[in-house]
A and B are shown apart, each in its own frame.
Chain A
Amino acid sequence: MRAMSVSAQAQPLSPGLRATLLRRLRRLLPADAVLAREEELRPYECDALSAYRRLPGVVVLPRDADEVRAVLRLCRELQVPVVARGAGTGLAGGALPRPDGVLLSLARLDRILRLDPDNRIAVVQPGVRNLAVSEAAAAHGLFYAPDPSSQVACTIGGNVAENAGGVHCLKYGLTVHNVLGLKMITMDGELLELGGVHGAPDGPGLDLAALAVGSEGMLGVVVEATLRLLPVPPATRVALAAFDDIATAGKAVGRIIGAGIVPAGLEMMDNAALRAAEDFVHAGYPRDAAAILLCEVDGEAAEADAQMARVCALLREAGATEVRVARDEAERERFWKGRKAAFPAVGRISPDYYCMDGTIPRHRLPRVLEGIARLAREHGLPVANVFHAGDGNLHPLILYDAARPGELERTEELGAKILELCVAAGGTITGEHGVGMEKIDQMCVQFGTAELQRFHDVKAAFDPAGLLNPGKAVPTLHRCAELGAMHVHGGRLPFPELERF
């Protein structure tokens, strides 16, 4: 079992070291900011990848950057590993704690420090919730674009760590495109200002802010982020199109993009996913369609209407059996409700589900979906597919029952094969969820030894002692060698004509 093997990787803190650590932490932080009893530690044993659990050695809840720095310096001195955590909504186990380490929760750094409508920036602490930024900016007619599905709960610090996306990435970009600057503290306790922390479009020298985004808490702890805000588009239009064949739906996506339209959102659901969603929230989806597409355009009213008229024509030309434009805001919200509820909807029809996050070049979609269906049959597990079709980010949901012996293992094996299929199709093992603990073995498939070694070297440039979130995101070369994953490159995967990225 994977859940057991992760526990076996690290021994708990020795009683002597733990006592020293607690005594010194309590000197740095208020009494309620250091948690050590098992019932206090239990809520931190996992993030949203709950199959992987282990208790942290200690949990700390600093209130400001100075306290974060003090904790990091102490842990550096005592050589104790540190795992940073936001809201714990990550899907890849990036915030999985260590029994021999400190779990550093940024939840109390939850203030929006500055909203500057003229420069269109928000300066926020890492524990601020994603949605809270747009809510605060709304008074100025502005919003923060990245909108991961967990945006009600997930925090900006976690979004930065994982380079979170959402349903509007094709037009508005990922977190990396919407962060102007970062203040980050290294394991040595150095406060770094990276990029345009005051709202300038860039910073001098190497783009270390871009490097820090998506670094999964391995390079430093973000204590402040300067976010780019955008004017709220006054008009939004959404169309729902039904298809009797999933490949036809995939081609329709290519038609829209080939016609020069960049939709604000372009989502696909297969029959299994759309049925589950329809039964759950009654979004008005055609239950017998093989696939549906949701296509949203936005802008000024004249712009949005003109684009929507073209989108509808293109969808019909591409073979949609039905095209419906939401007549009002209520219907638009209903269309989206089904998509946004897809994961919990699948959760209703299966005791457990496992969400994958591969990205592929869009034109490979039909072959990759065929491949997923074949693998699903071979493993005897159903799969529902939800797809950010505009940017090629695929979320296959494997339905399983953890109570049945062996089913979790079979699910993980199927998940790994699906990711390998994405890599072979010229894609990647993770589009927006991160590698964390979950996909560490698939990194051996995605990258060669030389690249993995450079990743370790980059980490060492920031964290020479290897104390920040150790063991995540980048596998050791030894681990890859043991898996024999490099052998898989020998041409046994499909699409051998493609270069591996």
Chain B
Amino acid sequence: MGGTDLTDSLRETVRAAGRRGTPLCLRGGGTRTFYGRAPAGDVLDLSGHRGIVRYQPTELVITARAGTPLAEVTAALAEHGQMLGFEPPAFGEDATLGGAIACGLGGPRRPFAGAARDAVLGLRCLDGTGEVLRFGGEVMKNVAGYDVPRLMTGALGTLGILLEISLKVLPRPGTELTLILEEPDPQRALERMAGWQRQPLPLSGLAWSSGRLWLRLEGTAEGVAAARARLGGEEPADGPAFWRGLRDHRLAFFSDERPLWRLAVPPAAPFIRLPETRPGDWLLDWGGAQRWLRSTLPPETVRAAATAAGGHATLFRGGDRGGEVFHPPSPAVLALHRRLKAVFDPGGIFNPGRLYPGV
């Protein structure tokens, strides 16, 4: 297993930044710089710290350095018929594993196979004092110590520089099949998706876009055939291209100048009616639990609607990156964010303010 280990030089860089009090803007492949609040600080390129460290397919675990290109990880897994269950999006060819874990985003399979944080088993990281720390491990079950690896997943690099990540992987199912069903009414689409999810169907994708329901079935040939017979619908020419386009935001829906919002809500929450908004401004993924919206409405309006639906809203792309991009937490929870930041990054040098002001 090859690659380059830059731990020593990264540690020196962090220590020097700590001494000078210079904030660092952590960057892997630079494909997610649009995400989160506006980046600040000197760019620290982590893409050189790369390589798969250990991978034994029968253990269902892979360990790789954070700068390893996501494509390299998924290719190594595919060679052994395996995959990352959370189907991380890649918004460019240079996307890295570390970036995927730091952002914690999941693709269409996420509601059926778990989130990024569900797959993370352990990690090595550099804290703000330049110390190398190791939490979790490479085994499926491990309850020794607080679950720092899952805390760092989705933390946008505010708690430490990820060096090495161990992930649970899954076998790639033998058969995959996409179905589409016409459904012009988004409320009716949500109800139908909720109904399917209450049944033991081999679903691995469930979305609604432009008047059509998209279903992805995965499993043994026998199981998929049985489900297909019950569901009806049509098989599109290139189902996998749709799911890749949805995962990586390359569908036509995502090429729009307006700000892109992500609403995470209970999947069966009613369709959200907003002023000046057409059904075509919405794309419903994750069986209704992740809803994408293109809108120039004021952030307060979108956030209030997400809260009323039982969830939260993220200004995913575009809009004012200097304001609150993520749903503001309660004062007590924000105070905890700041105290945890101080535990792992006492000098506040890692991606300051990327998640929340003061975090």
Contacts and interface: CB of A to CB of B under 8 A. Distances in A.
Interface residues of B, number: 91
Contacts of A11: none
B142 A258 contact: no
B148 interface: yes
Interface stretch (B4-12, B41-49, B55-63): B55-63
B140 A434 contact: no
A142 interface: yes
Most buried by A among B115, B117, B197, B336: B336
Interface string B279-317: 000000010011000000000000000000011101000
B144 interface: yes
Interface in B195-243: 197-202, 219-223, 225-227
Given A205-B333, A207-B154, A120 B198 contact: yes
Interface string A425-452: 0111111111100010001001110110
A249 B350 CA distance: 48
On chain A, which size bracket covers the interface? 35 or more
A288 interface: no
A460 B339 CA distance: 9
B140 A162 contact: no
B76 interface: no
Contacts of A176: 118, 147, 150
Chain A interface, DSSP helix/strand/loop, else mixed:
loop
Contact of B145 (A232, A300, A455): A455
Contacts of B2: none
B193 to A, nearest CB: 10
A196 B264 contact: yes
A189 to B, nearest CB: 10
Contacts of A448: 134
A462 B343 CA distance: 11
Contacts of A458: 146, 148, 340, 343
Interface string A114-145: 00111111000000000000000000111000
A192 B144 contact: no
Interface string B121-145: 0100001000101111111111111
A461 B337 CA distance: 9
A306 B221 contact: yes
A245 interface: no
Contacts of A390: 140
Contacts of B147: 163, 176, 210-211, 213-215
Interface stretch (A31-39, A355-363, A400-408): A355-363
Contacts of A392: 59, 139-141
A207 B172 CA distance: 28
B114 A177 contact: yes
B111 interface: yes
Contacts of B219: 299, 303
A393 interface: yes
B274 to A, nearest CB: 18
B275 interface: no
A198 B266 contact: yes
Interface stretch (B18-26, B67-75, B177-185, B324-332): B324-332
Given A140-B198, A363-B59, A454 B148 contact: yes
B265 interface: yes
A446 B312 contact: no
Nearest to B155: A206
A200 B264 contact: yes
A257 interface: yes
A462 to B, nearest CB: 7
Given A201-B290, A204-B329, A362-B58, A119 B266 contact: yes
A500 B265 CA distance: 40
Most buried by A among B118, B141, B147, B336: B141
Most buried by B among A162, A190, A232: A190
Interface string B150-163: 11011100010000
A447 B332 contact: no
B255 to A, nearest CB: 25
A300 B57 contact: no
B170 interface: yes
A191 B333 CA distance: 9
Nearest to B170: A262
A391 B141 contact: yes
Given A201-B286, A461-B339, 19 more contacts: A120-B197, A165-B141, A192-B336, A196-B311, A201-B267, A204-B327, A207-B154, A210-B147, A211-B150, A214-B143, A214-B146, A300-B202, A306-B223, A361-B56, A426-B138, A430-B144, A446-B144, A458-B340, A460-B339
5 contacts: A141-B198, A192-B336, A200-B289, A260-B173, A392-B139
A-B pairs, top 7 by smallest CB distance, nearest first, are A303-B223, A198-B310, A199-B266, A260-B171, A501-B137, A200-B311, A431-B141
